[in-house]
């Protein structure tokens, strides 16, 4: 399934049906009076967060969603049928934005959450509605109310517990593949990851979700590379795991580049809890490992963990550190009979 995290849709609610002007005319009934029914209400457009979706790909093939109009009223006091509503089924984590792409209309964060996007028009009153003691034969009826037409943007922000950050080829996909059942594409060239990947990780009888996004480069907040487009997917994460390639000749510069892009992106992303890990230590000897670790600790001003997604050295310690940063209500407990997804 192709990943799509931004889609433009056009919606229109149904118009209400017109009221009817009618009089009862039957043989041997002298005073029939008005009997025009009301028009039916137009269909409403809704958005609903559903389980089992993790992409907006369905909205690439259908962008127009028009609800049905209400039927006009009819004689013999018959009310028109209401128009059928339309429901846009979106993944959990979808933001619904106005046409300016800035005004947030709704944030779909829970399964079953339902939001009204465009209300259907009311049906018009038939002449029966206007009958009174002083106006016993009204010859007026109301037209139905027009529907609402809108252009909206759907923007998906994956709901994950941990977000992976790092330069291209920092080993993020390898780490995800080593700790979960996810199978992202892994290769030795930059930008192997072209869209976010999710993996469920198990450690100490609890599970949490890790999101792997494409790597960042200098100037990403200005549109360079592709990682900046996906930074929104880690906005909802509880903790960030910043992987630094230990085999790089510019370890400190790589670290500072990612931190600079987080700060330039804005919001609360740079202030989220963050764990820094020196990756690919299996390719370093003791001296090189110690030198890279010392430089990175000095640059970050805090502790740095060491790990290797290939040899899995230090991976369990990193997972436990991540687990300690995630709120208990976000963790999913596993039955005691199940084994952890992670295996040494």
- Ligand-binding site membership of 310 (annotated): yes
- Ligand-binding site membership of 279 (annotated): yes
Please identify, among 156, 181, 211, the residue that sits at the C-terminal boundary of a domain.
Answer: 156
Angle at 67 between CA 61 and CA 69, to 5 degrees: 145
User: Residue 252's closest CA among 296, 214, 193?
Assistant: 296
Judge whether 343 lies within some domain: no
CB 32 within 8 A of CB 75: no
Judge whether 220 lies within some domain: yes
Alpha carbons 308 and 303: distance in angstroms, whole number: 17
Please identify, among 111, 139, 156, the residue that sits at the C-terminal boundary of a domain.
Answer: 156
State whether 204 and 309 are in the same domain.
yes
- Ligand-binding site membership of 193 (annotated): yes
Tell me which residue range forms the domain holding 233.
Answer: 162-333
* Parallel/antiparallel/unpaired status of strands 64-66 and 6-12: parallel
- Ligand-binding site membership of 280 (annotated): yes
pLDDT of 339 over the 50 cut: no
CB 276 within 8 A of CB 244: yes
The average pLDDT across 65-93 equals: 95
State whether 175 and 131 are in the same domain.
no
Alpha carbons 275 and 243: distance in angstroms, whole number: 9
Alpha carbons 209 and 139: distance in angstroms, whole number: 65
Q: Please tell me the predicted confidence (pLDDT) of residue 37.
A: 95
The partner residues of 10 in beta bridges, in order of sequence, read 64, 151
- Ligand-binding site membership of 214 (annotated): yes
Please identify, among 156, 187, 204, the residue that sits at the C-terminal boundary of a domain.
Answer: 156
CB 193 within 8 A of CB 172: yes
- Ligand-binding site membership of 309 (annotated): yes
- Ligand-binding site membership of 11 (annotated): no
- Ligand-binding site membership of 333 (annotated): no
| φ, ψ of residue 117 in degrees (nearest 5) | -100, -35
C-alpha torsion 131→137→143→144, nearest 10: 40
- Ligand-binding site membership of 115 (annotated): no
Alpha carbons 24 and 158: distance in angstroms, whole number: 60
28 Cβ contact partners less than 8 Å away, ≥ 6 residues apart: none
- Ligand-binding site membership of 191 (annotated): yes
User: What digits encode the pLDDT tens for the residues 9-59?
Assistant: 999 999 999 999 999 888 887 778 899 999 999 999 999 999 888 789 889
- Ligand-binding site membership of 168 (annotated): yes
Predicted TM-score of the model (pTM): 0.73
Alpha carbons 314 and 279: distance in angstroms, whole number: 9
- Ligand-binding site membership of 180 (annotated): no
- Ligand-binding site membership of 308 (annotated): yes
User: Residue 5's closest CA among 97, 68, 69, 84?
Assistant: 97
- Ligand-binding site membership of 173 (annotated): yes
User: What digits encode the pLDDT tens for the residues 221-250?
Assistant: 455 545 556 777 778 888 999 999 988 888
Q: Please tell me the predicted confidence (pLDDT) of residue 142.
A: 95
- Ligand-binding site membership of 282 (annotated): yes
What's the DSSP call for residue 206?
E
Structure confidence at residue 198 as a pLDDT band (50, 70, 90): confident
Q: What is the CATH number of the domain that holds 235?
A: 3.40.50.300
- Ligand-binding site membership of 129 (annotated): no
């Amino acid at each position: 399934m192709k990943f799509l995290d931004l889609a433009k849709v056009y919606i229109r609610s149904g118009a209400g049906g017109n009221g009817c002007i009618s009089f009862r005319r039957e043989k041997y009934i002298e005073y029939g009076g008005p009997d025009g029914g009301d028009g039916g209400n137009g269909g409403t457009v809704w958005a609903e967060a559903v389980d089992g979706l993790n992409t907006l790909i369905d909205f690439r093939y259908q962008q127009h969603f028009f609800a049905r109009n209400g039927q006009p009223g009819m004689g013999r006091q018959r009310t028109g049928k209401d128009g059928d509503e339309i429901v846009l089924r979106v993944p959990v984590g979808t933001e619904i934005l106005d046409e300016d792409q800035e005004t947030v209309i709704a944030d779909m964060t829970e399964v079953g959450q339902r939001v009204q996007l465009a209300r259907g028009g009311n049906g018009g009153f038939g002449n029966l509605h206007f009958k009174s003691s002083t106006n016993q034969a009204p010859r007026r009826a109301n037209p139905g109310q027009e529907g609402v037409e809108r252009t909206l943007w759907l923007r998906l922000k994956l709901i994950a517990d941990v977000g992976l950050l790092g330069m291209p080829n920092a080993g993020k996909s390898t780490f995800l593949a080593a700790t979960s059942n996810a199978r992202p594409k892994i290769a030795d060239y930059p930008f192997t990851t072209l869209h976010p990947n999710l993996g469920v990780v198990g450690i100490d009888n609890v599970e949490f979700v890790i999101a792997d996004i494409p790597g960042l480069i200098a100037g990403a907040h200005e549109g360079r590379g592709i990682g900046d487009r996906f930074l929104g997917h880690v906005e909802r994460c509880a903790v960030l795991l910043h992987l630094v390639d230990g085999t790089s000749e510019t370890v400190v510069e790589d670290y500072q580049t990612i931190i600079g892009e987080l700060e330039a992106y804005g919001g609360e992303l740079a202030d989220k809890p963050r764990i820094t890990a020196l990756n690919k230590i299996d390719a370093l000897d003791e001296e090189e490992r110690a030198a890279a670790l010392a430089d990175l600790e000095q640059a970050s001003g805090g502790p740095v963990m060491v790990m290797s997604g290939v040899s899995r050295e230090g991976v369990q310690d990193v997972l436990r550190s991540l687990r300690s940063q995630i709120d208990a209500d976000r963790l999913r407990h596993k039955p005691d009979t199940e084994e952890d997804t992670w295996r040494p």
